[in-house]
Structure 1
């Protein structure tokens, strides 16, 4: 009941202040009311109204330390650090034991990237404060800025010892443990924390995430279960639980959890996509297709959705449908290398080699540097009789894969095809050195070259040389 009265008073102060602004009548507020009004507008991002309230507040209470400290906070926010520092010196002369003075001094040094100095002032603030949790949290943040994760973690833990309910500190503790690659230690800490605060859905959720990262999916699900029992609308925990069920190949249970996230909020393209994947793995092809279609309808810019539906038809060997959907995807985003690679692969399957060559070229142009992309592209160029282009493409690929035998064998074959035997033998020698047994590539890809006596002799010579070593 008391809390309700406080809220009513707070709302009344805001209404009264806004009414005063509209009527231009000057009304009286005590200094604490002004502080609440100013902080209210700052929280809402209404800096102009906050400054107006501060000016009126200082007019009515020129000696209020609280209002002048709020003024300092606003000056720091506006990056007027020298002015803020000067005002703090005046306040220090009046109230040297006010912890907020040291906190604001620390804030100024933090803004100047002098984080060690900021910590010094925060440690002084600890000597004068009753709110130890808040100061430990601020010290932890300063150590985070300095990339000193151990000391940051230590101070966030101290913060939680003072205030178990500080969720930001709890998230930060787990972050520090994870950054330091201390997942098992983090789980041990969370177990201790949960013993003191068993109904913290955040702690259970974080524990589930840690177990998931350790690939301990059973324990992850157990932790997520507790999180969702405490808060049956904890969307993130249901989502993580669904992912863990997928890892365990319990696709029906995964679908159930994904559906719970949809019931809690509007359907997300990610949840729809995962439900589609689960149905496909269960052999429910019609349902899989339904959810893939819903995915691309929900978010046409999600490449994973278009890829899922295209790959679905590829697995069904329905190349016409696959091509239809990849063309729709390209109409939305024609600079997506994943789309172009599939466009190329589908056309290759349909024996549309010029279109396939164009697709692989575009995939590389937009950042696909995977080895198989280069090799598919080159093999099509060779099939089309574009030997010079194929050679230039392989030389480009060799910059990414300088010691790749499949590139060297192809270069050897192509140079033999254009009668440049010197370069051909150079690359064949490289290829045989890198992986001798793969010389069958010459036979498979270049039967005309394979039949040449010079090639057979060169391979035999290399083999004999290896035998004598």
Structure 2
């Protein structure tokens, strides 16, 4: 593995699966201003254009600040010099995914996998397929399960299968897989929230609230657990309780603009 591949791994190969219950607001989709350190990094890259490590750090920083076009340009520059580098294609696919272009993300995850069939890329690809209701998600997870990679990967696969079944309307299997995920990793908060959303989407708000409350007992600092409690209370027309939970969520995550908007609505 070369230096750039190790840098990609160090930059964060963590599998981050996001629930789709909250959609990004227009404010969240706007590019954030470039931080001074990123501006300084851009100047350094201009001074040292052949530094692959510096260029990769810049791409990651641009991605983090939602400057996806610039991040992709940096990745393309790196790939043009090292087109058989699995890590670069994987990293580029992640930028596409963060930008919301799932078709391009799928394409580049598949390119990465043709170079090296890493479990991380397979899971990232399977997660996108699950959201698209594509049975390929199940096929990938079944293949990974056969490798017996351990409970961490078992949890990821069960979560992805749970998402697939939730999106395809198979509530029973969705709950089974999400419970399996939680059994393998009790603190897998996305699985708790996804499970609650299955009940929420079927208008079983009492059951959803029970799951979201339990999630907040597992991790008392997890803002989404309080946000979705608030959503359940809101649907049950318990506005005071909803307002309290929205405020709790916002106190834990100042960037949770959906909670801020809900508070303003309920206080009118």
1:72 aligns with 2:122: no
User: Structure 1 pair 175/8, CA: closer, same or farther in 2 (3 Å)?
Assistant: same
Does the Cα contact within 8 Å between 1:115 and 1:145 map onto a contact in 2?
A: no
Selected match of 1:59 from 109, 114, 117: 114
1:122 matched residue in structure 2: 178
Q: Which has the higher contact order (CA 8 A, sep 6+)?
A: 2
User: Structure 1 pair 35/150, CA: closer, same or farther in 2 (3 Å)?
Assistant: farther
Does the Cα contact within 8 Å between 2:59 and 2:75 map onto a contact in 1?
A: no
Kindly name which structure, 1 or 2, has the bigger radius of gyration based on alpha carbons: 1
Q: Deviations over 1:94-136 (max 9, x none)?
A: 1352211001110121122012321121111112236532221
RMSD (CA atoms)? 3.7
Q: Distance in 2 between matches of 1:200 and 1:55?
A: 33
Q: Distance in 2 between matches of 1:201 and 1:74?
A: 23
**Map 1:81-96 → 2, pairs under 5 A:** 81=135, 83-94=136-147, 95=149
Deviation (angstroms), 1:189 = 5.2
1:112 aligns with 2:168: yes
Say which SS state the counterpart of residue 237 (structure 2) adopts: coil
Selected match of 1:134 from 190, 199, 204: 190
Segments of 5+ residues of structure 1 without an aligned counterpart are 213-239, 241-469
Segments of 5+ residues of structure 2 without an aligned counterpart are 1-10, 13-36, 39-55, 63-70
2:77 matched residue in structure 1: 19
User: Structure 1 pair 150/102, CA: closer, same or farther in 2 (3 Å)?
Assistant: same
**Map 1:224-303 → 2, pairs under 5 A:** 240=268
User: Structure 1 pair 9/163, CA: closer, same or farther in 2 (3 Å)?
Assistant: farther
Selected match of 2:92 from 11, 27, 37: 37
Q: Distance in 2 between matches of 1:171 and 1:183?
A: 13
Q: Deviations over 1:197-240 (max 9, x none)?
A: 59799767755644x4xxxxxxxxxxxxxxxxxxxxxxxxxxx4
Say which SS state the counterpart of residue 127 (structure 1) adopts: helix
Does the Cα contact within 8 Å between 1:156 and 1:169 map onto a contact in 2?
A: yes
Structure having the larger proportion of residues in helix = 1
Q: How many residues align?
A: 203
Does the Cα contact within 8 Å between 2:161 and 2:177 map onto a contact in 1?
A: yes
TM-score normalised by the chain length of structure 1: 0.37
Does the Cα contact within 8 Å between 2:90 and 2:121 map onto a contact in 1?
A: yes
1:148 aligns with 2:204: yes
Q: Distance in 2 between matches of 1:199 and 1:16?
A: 30
1:8 aligns with 2:63: no
User: Structure 1 pair 7/122, CA: closer, same or farther in 2 (3 Å)?
Assistant: farther
